[in-house]
Structures are given as structure tokens and as C-alpha cells.
């Protein structure tokens, strides 16, 4: 089989996977509380989040769910995060602020913050959220109803992704692209394989007993992509995992500039490949062959006037499928459509970020995030 045919086949398989995933991906339905409702603890780690903390707390204060508490951990913030959070706790008895302890050696900052929050929680359900999330009035009620309906041990949702700057719109959709082209979502629910698992740390709702049985965040204390490792532990222990589209109940703006996107992705990318240089290199090479080379060949063929050559029709097919995938995902997740046309630019940036992520770790300094450095070459997960 010729090179172009192999690439076309690979891209076609990506397209089929994306189509199946999009068609089968269920949404969290916005519903109010019904019947007996369990107590839920909303757990919010916050480090230098003065830009976001007021907005997320305002949306949490207006929930229609009757039984919940909100615990905020001020993780040694150097800005006004703690002061803003305490203003809310002073006026709303459902809110409580705790000061984070110094980060122990051998812990990731977020995992340790979440571990402390879980120890303070009194709820039957534990909802871990990020400080950059924004919640509809029925966010908690809808998530609790979906957890009950799915009978899962862990429900995680993908919020509606809010983007503002040019590079946010170009790069961030690759999160959806990578997930929906390569992870067969139906098998996440239908199989018990922990390799077919994922979670989004922006919104994770656990049954308290399940969280304890899998070891909680202490079990993944050195994993920078702790959400994925927790989802694997949930499946390893035999509990169902549910992943849903939460666009109708929660939104999130992860980053607000190219430097923030670059740093955030650099922190997680090499860790997401378990610090395997061969693995991340192979995936980035595959991305280059399927998402960059076809577009370069298309432009080159048009310039050279070779549009009548047989290989050119295959190149057209390759680029058309990639753009179709991007448009399909953009429509499903309410993203801008135009970034699909600059997909190879996004992939060039992702490869650059991957190089930087490897450089941080292999260079000896470790991954950098919010003033901390983490040199965890291999996540130690306890069972």
C-alpha cells in the first residue's frame, strides 16, 4: 500500500472514530433536584486565582440544589484569592475557606490541595471543580441526577470551552480533537479496561465511598494528570465511569493568552504520555504526518499545477477529512468554525509545546506551574 493510501486510511479511521463518538456522546440534561437528595461537598482548590475566584463562587452561591457545602482551599496564594474567598464565607454559611498546608515532598500541588479538601468534606458526594469554571443554576442538581442515572462511581463532564484570544481559539480545540479521534468513548463505559478511561479535573463528581476505596488523590499524588489516573483507578476497582458533555450546565475558560496556553499544555503533555520519550515522539510524528504534511502537499500541488496527478486526489481527501472532523467537533461543542482551516498551524504549535514539555522534564528542572516545579519522571500510583 502506497504512503498516501496509508495516511488516507489512518485519517479515515480517525474520522470514523470521531463520528461515532460525537453521535454517541451524551449530554448532562439541566434538571432541578427531585426526591431525597444527598449532601454534596463542592471542593475548590485555588492558587493565585483572584481573576476567577469571585465569578465561580458567585455561580456556586445561586444553585437550586438544597443540600451542599462549598469548601475553598487557599493554596499559598500570593494574590487576593484568599481575601476574596473569605468575603464569600463571611456572608454565606455554606462556604468555608481553609488555608492549605505547605506542599510536602513527593506531592503535586493540585493533588495535595484536593486531598486536604476531601478530608474536610462532610458530603455523601464529592464534587471537585476548578476555579476557572462557571456554573449554571442547575449545575449541581443536573450532575447529581446524571450520576444517579448512570450508576457510576465517578461522573466527569466536559464543560463548554470558552475562548477569547486568537491562540486560544486555534489551540484549545485540539483537546477535543485528540480525545474524539483516538479514544472510543462507547468503550469507556462498556469495558472494564483502565486504559480506556479519562476524566476532566475541571468537574469530577465522586461517590464518597468510591473515592476512598480507590485511594483518593493520595493514590495519584505524583501524577500531574491526576484526573486521568483517578479515572483509571475507578475502573481498576470495578466501578463504572461516566463521561458526559456538560456544556449546558458548566463552562470554563482555561487560559487567556498564548503564554498561558503554552505553559498549561507544557505542564501536562509529557506527563500525559507517562514521560515516555518514544511514545510522545511517535504520537507527534503521527500528528505531523496526518495533520501537517497533507496540507503542505496540497499547497505544493496547487502551486506546481499537479492537480491532475493521482496522488493529488488522495491529498485532497486527506485534508478534506481532517477539516470535516474539525468542523464536526466544532459544531458539537459550540466552538468557532474558522480554526478548522488553520488546523496545521495548531498542530505545529502543539508539537512545539510537546518539545518544550520534554525539555522542562528532561532538562532537569521539571514541569513548571504557578511558581512550582515538579520533577516526577514516573507517576507512582498506589492501589
Which domains are present in the chain?
3-21+261-374 (no CATH), 25-254 (3.90.550.10)
Confidence at residue 159, expressed as pLDDT on a 0 to 100 scale: 96
CB of 114 closer than 8 Å to CB of 196: no
Residue 306 has pLDDT above 70, yes or no: no
CB of 364 closer than 8 Å to CB of 375: yes
Per-residue pLDDT, averaged over 312-333, amounts to 94
Confidence at residue 377, expressed as pLDDT on a 0 to 100 scale: 64
CA 307 to chain centre: 40
- Residue 87: count other Cβ atoms within 10 Å of its Cβ: 16
Q: What is the pLDDT of residues 112-161, one digit of tens each?
A: 999 999 999 999 999 999 999 999 999 999 999 999 999 999 999 999 99
* Mean pLDDT over the full length of the chain: 92
Residue 229 pLDDT class (50, 70, 90 cuts)? very high
Per-residue pLDDT, averaged over 29-35, amounts to 86
Confidence at residue 381, expressed as pLDDT on a 0 to 100 scale: 47
Please state whether the predicted TM-score (pTM) of the whole model is above 0.95: no
Strand 241-245 to strand 154-158: parallel, antiparallel, or no bridges (unpaired)?
parallel
Task: Specify the higher pLDDT residue, 43 or 188.
Answer: 43
Confidence at residue 1, expressed as pLDDT on a 0 to 100 scale: 54
Confidence at residue 308, expressed as pLDDT on a 0 to 100 scale: 64
Residue 379 has pLDDT above 80, yes or no: no
CB of 49 closer than 8 Å to CB of 110: no
Confidence at residue 137, expressed as pLDDT on a 0 to 100 scale: 95
Per-residue pLDDT, averaged over 171-178, amounts to 96
Residue 309 has pLDDT above 70, yes or no: yes
Residue 378 has pLDDT above 60, yes or no: no
Per-residue pLDDT, averaged over 53-65, amounts to 96
CA distance readout (Å), 14 to 17, 44, 84, 326, 336? 5, 36, 45, 11, 21
CB of 354 closer than 8 Å to CB of 205: no
Smallest CA-to-CA distance from 10 within 318, 296, 288 is with 318
Least confident range from 1-5, 71-75, 200-204, 271-275: namely 1-5
Please tell me the distance from the alpha carbon of residue 257 to that of residue 248, in angstroms, as a whole number.
25
Per-residue pLDDT, averaged over 4-26, amounts to 94
CA distance readout (Å), 95 to 141, 178, 361? 18, 37, 38
Confidence at residue 66, expressed as pLDDT on a 0 to 100 scale: 93
Residue 371 pLDDT class (50, 70, 90 cuts)? confident
Task: Specify the higher pLDDT residue, 213 or 2.
Answer: 213
The contacts of residue 194 (CB under 8 Å, 6+ apart) are 232, 233, 235, 236
Amino acid at each position: 500500500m502506497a504512503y498516501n493510501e496509508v495516511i488516507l486510511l489512518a485519517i479515515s479511521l480517525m474520522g470514523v472514530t470521531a463520528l461515532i463518538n460525537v453521535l454517541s456522546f451524551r449530554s448532562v440534561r439541566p434538571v432541578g433536584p427531585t426526591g431525597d437528595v444527598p449532601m454534596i461537598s463542592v471542593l475548590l482548590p485555588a492558587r493565585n486565582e483572584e481573576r476567577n475566584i469571585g465569578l465561580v463562587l458567585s455561580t456556586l452561591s445561586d444553585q437550586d440544589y438544597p443540600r451542599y457545602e462549598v469548601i475553598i482551599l487557599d493554596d499559598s496564594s500570593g494574590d487576593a484569592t484568599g481575601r476574596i474567598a473569605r468575603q464569600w464565607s463571611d456572608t454565606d454559611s455554606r462556604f468555608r475557606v481553609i488555608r492549605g498546608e505547605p506542599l510536602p515532598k513527593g506531592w503535586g500541588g493540585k493533588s495535595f490541595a484536593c486531598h486536604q479538601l476531601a478530608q474536610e468534606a462532610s458530603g455523601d458526594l464529592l464534587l471537585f471543580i476548578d476555579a476557572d469554571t462557571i456554573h449554571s443554576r442547575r449545575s449541581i442538581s443536573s450532575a447529581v441526577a446524571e450520576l444517579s442515572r448512570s450508576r457510576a462511581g465517578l461522573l466527569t463532564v466536559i464543560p463548554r470551552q470558552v475562548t477569547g484570544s486568537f491562540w486560544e481559539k486555534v489551540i484549545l480545540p485540539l483537546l477535543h480533537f485528540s480525545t474524539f479521534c483516538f479514544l472510543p468513548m462507547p468503550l469507556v463505559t462498556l469495558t472494564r479496561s483502565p486504559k480506556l478511561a479519562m476524566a476532566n479535573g475541571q468537574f469530577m463528581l465522586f461517590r464518597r465511598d468510591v473515592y476512598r476505596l480507590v485511594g483518593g488523590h493520595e493514590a495519584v499524588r505524583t501524577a500531574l494528570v491526576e484526573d486521568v489516573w483517578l479515572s483509571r483507578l475507578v475502573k481498576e476497582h470495578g466501578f463504572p465511569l461516566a463521561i458526559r458533555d456538560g456544556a449546558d450546565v458548566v463552562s470554563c475558560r482555561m487560559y487567556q493568552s498564548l503564554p498561558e496556553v503554552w505553559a498549561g499544555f507544557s505542564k501536562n503533555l509529557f506527563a500525559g504520555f507517562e514521560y515516555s520519550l518514544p511514545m510522545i515522539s511517535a504520537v507527534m510524528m503521527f500528528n505531523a504526518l496526518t495533520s501537517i504534511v497533507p496540507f503542505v502537499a496540497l499547497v505544493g500541488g496547487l502551486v506546481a499545477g499537479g492537480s491532475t496527478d493521482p496522488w493529488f486526489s488522495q491529498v485532497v481527501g486527506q485534508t478534506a477529512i481532517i477539516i470535516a472532523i474539525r468542523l464536526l467537533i466544532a459544531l458539537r461543542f459550540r466552538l468557532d468554525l474558522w480554526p478548522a482551516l488553520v488546523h496545521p498551524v495548531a498542530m505545529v504549535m502543539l508539537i512545539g509545546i510537546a518539545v518544550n514539555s520534554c525539555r522542562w522534564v528532561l532538562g532537569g528542572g521539571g514541569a513548571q506551574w504557578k511558581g512550582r516545579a515538579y520533577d516526577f519522571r514516573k507517576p507512582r500510583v498506589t492501589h
